[in-house]
Structure 1
Amino acid sequence: MHEDPEVAGGRETSAPVPIRRRDTAPQQPPPPELGEAQVRLVQNLRGIRICLVLLLMLAVVHMLYFARAILLPMAMAVLMSLVLKPVRKRLTNAGLPSFASAVIVFSAFTVVLLVGARLLWEPANHWLEQAPESLRNVREQLSGVEGPLGVIQEAGQELAELTAMSEKDGAVKPPVSVRVEQPALTSQLLNTTGGFVTSLGITLSLLFFLLASGDRFLEKLVQVKKSWREKWDTVLLVKEIEHKISTYLGTITLINFGLGVVIALGLWLVGMPHPLLWGGLAALLNYIPFAGLIIGSCVVFVVAASEFSTLGHALLAPAVYLIANGVEANLVTPVMLHKSVSLNPVVILVAIFLGGWCWGVGGIFLAVPCLLVAKLICESHEPLEPIAVFLGR
């Protein structure tokens, strides 16, 4: 007879009772309630922090404004390097040395820039010489609109005659004439040209060294970080910024080039003089969201009104400009860019205004790329995610 395993020596074994472990960790006491004075102190500290952030923002804006002569060429060089870096990497992966690939890419970019400037310089110079006569022709074309303006001019003349009569009677003393001496136009052009050449030299020099250095700055940035997690996050962030900025600027450049070609052909078909100049102007202005379309169409209309004999013929040129831009903005750009750039239109307009105030035309061109970089940086840091949501569409 086998003994029951649950009975040994005439006594029944009970099932093992699970042992509950006592939590030996010390329990933290509940936080003490803040007094009224402490609550006021916390509120004051929050207010001080907000004021410091606002002061920091104002200081950054003023620094950007007063240091634009140095910061603008540097920003242009960095963005151009982001566009050209994928081409340099492909040449390097093909077997060329890094320095040789940088020289080839930089030389090709410089040649394209000089050839484009040479092609557009002659028609632009010719149009500037004929600008006074063109404006007179525009005034003749729009002579039908001068009816309401004539009434205002007559009222101004009558007011001037009444003022002259009162001056003769001694009621009003004649105003003191003030003459402001301004520098000659030649000196202004020389100063502007000198500043532009200096900025262009700084931009091209820095662009070459950025292309030749490769990923050296990224390596140094990774060395500064302490943990592997920080190093990995830094590499991912920099690579994402490079990829999205290069994709955006490269795609926009191709789209603008095609738009300029289409507008130049359309203006050539309607008989517009110097169509290559206006196609190049359209390609450049298309980098400026919203405002570029308005400026370009107005300029084309003024030039067409000065060249064509009838107003109906003159309206064909801005019609071609608007139709080409409409097709590009609603069909071509959404298909090629998809959702890679989803920025708030209101924020874009504010950035364009601030960029134009701080850095002029260059700041207007840099507004959207800088916004895209700021959005990517805010998305990668959890405390700054609300700002990224605000910048998004």
Structure 2
Amino acid sequence: MKENPLLHRRDDFKVKTRDIRAVRLLSVLVGLATLYTFYYAQTLLVPAVFSVLVALLLSPLVSRLETVHVPRTISSIVLLMLLVMPFSFLGAELSEPIQRWMKLIPQLSLQVTEHINEISDVFEEVEHKSLEDADKGSKTALETLIENDPRDQSNLTQQSAVEQKLKQSGVEVVASLLTGAPIFLAQLLGSFILILFLIIFGPPLFKVFINDFPIVKNKHRAKLLIKSIQHALSKYIATISLINSGLGIVTAMALAAFGVRDALLWGALVGLLNFVPYVGSVTSLAILCFVGFVQFGITAIAFLPSCIFLLLNIIESQIVTPAVLGNTMRVNPLIIIVWLLLSGWIWGVLGVLLAVPILVCIKLVIEQMEVFPHWLKLIEAKDDD
């Protein structure tokens, strides 16, 4: 008897379908495992990613100094010290205002509660006055019930409970920041050590990997590719760091010129948050609105700090950054927001700050290696495409 070839085709089709489903399921599992690995290993990976970004920033300078016979060890230490010194000076200058604002957080919580109570009292007085005017000074049974309502005492109890809760939350924020400071300092010290080792001993490892490992077929192209990727990444990191630092400095000078207290602190915060597109600007705007209300009270001039920042941010985001970076920062806004949410879920606040530099680095690597063109097009998607 002859075998029916259609049966073999059906069996092959079933096997291929099972294999495809198994591969897809395995890919999903690997993706989830990778996400949870990033999540649980954040204390290790966040300093490592930060160290790699800084090492990419300093490596071209170290290589240039090596061409004029300056040892990598000496140039790496000197450049890292030059990079750390301004931040050390800035941290020393900002330590006093940071401590002062940390102490003010519980008091400000109570003040906000008091302002809310005052506003509610004003509305209640207006309501009672309108009732009195409507009745021409005669007290109705309804007003008597309102005055003698036992729920008034419960409302006062609830307001006091809210005040205590706000005060407690402010104290908890300060306590969490103080308890997390030693861990942050330890991670920062570890990052500096890792940066030095990456700059000094990283290039020899790359050379051995490219020259001796059989996985690299075209060694000349691999060297050129790594060099172009390193140059593009270091240029981007340096450029965006200078732009954000410039925005912070100009913001601090403008706020100081208009008499805003602790202008250096708010300028540093603005420069740091500007690494987070959209969300960082909105956060800076909200913080400066709050600062204006704290210093000037509930008046029109309280919006002055936020208006100053809004004007400078528009100039930076619409004129300076597009003119300097060009298509390097061409990333779809929805992709940025989703990436920020994912990075914030995995690595918290530090993940949000590092999210966009990491995304742009991935984009530059894909672009330089000329792989995954559909993913590159998705990242850069715009209405005119």
Relative to the length of structure 2, the TM-score reads: 0.78
Residues 1:335 and 1:146: Cα distance change in structure 2 (over 3 Å): farther
1:306 corresponds to which of 286, 294, 311: 294
Q: Aligned match of 1:279 in 241, 256, 267?
A: 267
Note if 1:96 corresponds to 2:96: no
Please identify the structure whose Cα radius of gyration is greater.
1
Query: 1: CA distance between counterparts of 2:123 and 2:225?
Result: 58
Aligned counterparts, 1:32-181, within 5 A:
35-137=9-111, 146=120, 161=151
Distance 1:289 1:108 in 2: 28
Partner AA of 2:102 in structure 1: L
C-alpha distance in structure 1 between counterparts of 2:208 and 2:356, whole Å: 28
Instruction: Give the 3 Å change call, closer, same or farther, for CA 339–379 of structure 1 in structure 2.
Output: closer
SS across alignment from 1:215: helix
Mean Cα deviation higher: 296-305 or 365-374: 365-374
**SS of equivalent to 2:284:** helix
Aligned residue for 1:192? 180
Q: Shift in Å at residue 241 of structure 1?
A: 2.4
- Give the Cα separation in 2 of the matches to 1:290 and 1:233: 38
Count of residue pairs brought into register by the alignment: 338
Q: Structure 1's 112 and 271: CA in aligned 2 closer, same or farther, altered over 3 A?
A: closer
User: Normalized per residue, which structure has more helix?
Assistant: 2
| TM-aligned CA distance change 1:382 to 1:280, over 3 Å | closer
Alpha-carbon distance in 2 for matches of 1:141, 1:105: 50
The answer to whether the 8 A contact 1:98-1:212 is kept is yes
Cα shift at 1:221: 2.4
Residues 73, 202 of structure 1: 8 Å contact kept: yes
Percent of aligned pairs with the same amino acid:
28
1:303-343 per-residue CA deviation (whole Å, 9 max, x = no partner) reads: 11011044201011110111110110000000111112322
Consecutive unaligned residues in structure 2, runs of 5 or more? 1-5, 126-147, 155-168
CA shift, 1:356, in A, is 1.2
Alignment of 1:230-309 (within 5 A): 230-309=218-297
Contact residue 137 and residue 307 of structure 1 kept, 8 A: no
Letter paired with 1:47: R
Match of 2:329, SS? coil
Q: Deviations over 1:366-385 (max 9, x none)?
A: 21222223334444667633
Do the aligned residues in 1 keep the contact of 2:285 with 2:309 (CA within 8 Å)?
yes
The yes-or-no answer on 1:348 pairing with 2:322 is no
| Alpha-carbon RMSD | 3.2
Q: How high is the TM-score relative to the length of structure 1?
A: 0.77
Counterpart Cα distance in 1 of 2:124 and 2:8: 74
Unpaired runs of 5+ residues, structure 1, are 1-31, 152-157, 165-181
